[in-house]
Amino acid sequence: MIPGPIEFEPAVLRAMGSATTSHVAPNFIESFGNSLDMMKSVWQCPSGQPFILAGSGTLAMDSAAANLVEQGDKVLVISTGYFSDRFADILKRYGAAVKVLKALTGGVVDTEVVENELQQTQYKVMVFTHVDTSTAVLVDPLPIGRLGKKYGVLTILDGVCSVAGEEIRQEEWGIDVVLTASQKAVGVPPGLALLVVSPDAIDKWKKRSTPVGSYYSDWSNWLPIMNAYSDRKPSYFGTPAVNLVAALEVSLQLILKEGLSTRFERHKRTGAAFRAGLSALGLAQVPLNNLVAANTLSAPLFPDGISGTGFLSFVSDQGVILAGGLLPEIKGKYFRIGHMGSVNKGDIITTLSAIESGLKHCGYSFIPGAGMNAALNILNV
């Protein structure tokens, strides 16, 4: 129950374990093309250009930065945690003049503050993290997308911990790039960097005055490949992760079969159940309130006097693996629970039961069963 890699559906793992075919075999070309088509549906961006690259979520971030930023370009980063700060570092590598608007730990940057900054300075790109995996803070993408269009700024949404879990309507909300990694709510083992890019962003990229600083990330190398596979034709630049693409096709089919609205609502219910369960046990969270708390993971604070190492080790012995803190300034004060993708009611109750056992083992006082009952009150409605 960590925030990635998550547990995967059996059908996805079967596809992953199938015989590896050629990257120009007809069945693989069809699988790749189908995946590109379905990404537009899952991202809700019918006019967008999908990219499927062999690599991690950090590569997806690197790809967006490398292609859309040139030396001296002004970029605004809205930071809500560790991965927002990482994106700022990546942008600086490509010569961007980066301004960071940093939220208080567990909070978000007010829309008014963002707009005030856009009024004062003409930025080329604005970057924000939908759900920062280090803090479980959720940012509302809609007003940021609107501000990007209002001020002529390209918007990049880091959706590594949100795509296919939190609601995203990329085209309707006016967001130019939405990127993610395969191992989280998309539900595929690690190894794929996934992006959907708007026509406006593609147009800006084509008008660059300098070459892209990364050979591997350069869309000039990858766009012909994506176009060929979309047309169900063979092509080659770098060998794709054949089995991962086969698994991606299956997972995207399952996501669309469930239905996006149903899937988003399921994640909302799961997130609410976890927050209720943790609150019933007296555990505060890193997000300052439920309005900015993600539905794909939770980040509870340890109660006073509880050792994180001892607690997590005991919970692991109960068969449930949780993640420690990641944000440097509070790393030892909290832990993280992933609840995205194929997570079900049984997973939730088992996890809360293990947390209760761990708290009891560490000498923390609470009403036994309080966390599980609070969660069930939401799950059983």
Residue 297 confidence class, pLDDT cut points 50, 70, 90: very high
DSSP string, 294-351: -SSEE-BBPPTT--HHHHHHHHHHTT---EE--SGGGGGGBEEEE--TT--HHHHHHH
The pTM of this model reads 0.97
Start-to-end CA distance of the chain, whole Å, equals 24
Which residue reads 């940093």 in tokens? 102
| Beta carbons within 10 angstroms of residue 77's beta carbon | 27
CATH topology assigned to domain 10-258: Aspartate Aminotransferase; domain 2 (3.40.640)
Residue 381: per-residue pLDDT: 83
Q: pLDDT, tens digit, for every residue of 159-171?
A: 999 999 999 999 9
- Which of 207, 193, 150, 195 is CA-nearest to residue 173? 150
| Beta carbons within 10 angstroms of residue 73's beta carbon | 17
4 residue type, one letter? G
- Which of 277, 3, 279 is CA-nearest to residue 135? 3
* CATH no., domain 260-379: 3.90.1150.10
Residue 225: per-residue pLDDT: 98
Q: pLDDT, tens digit, for every residue of 30-61?
A: 999 999 999 999 999 999 999 999 999 999 99
Q: pLDDT, tens digit, for every residue of 216-270?
A: 999 999 999 999 999 999 999 999 999 999 999 999 999 999 999 999 999 999 9
Q: In Å, how far from its chain's centre is CA 109?
A: 19
Q: Residues 307-333: what's their mean pLDDT?
A: 94
252 residue type, one letter? L
Residue 351: per-residue pLDDT: 98
Q: Domain residue spans in the chain?
A: 10-258, 260-379
Listed in sequence order, the DSSP H helices in 153-198 are 170-173
- Which of 2, 1, 18 is CA-nearest to residue 244? 18
Tokens of 324: 């420690």
Three-state secondary structure string covering 31-67: HHHHHHHHHHHHHCCCCCEEEEEECCHHHHHHHHHHH
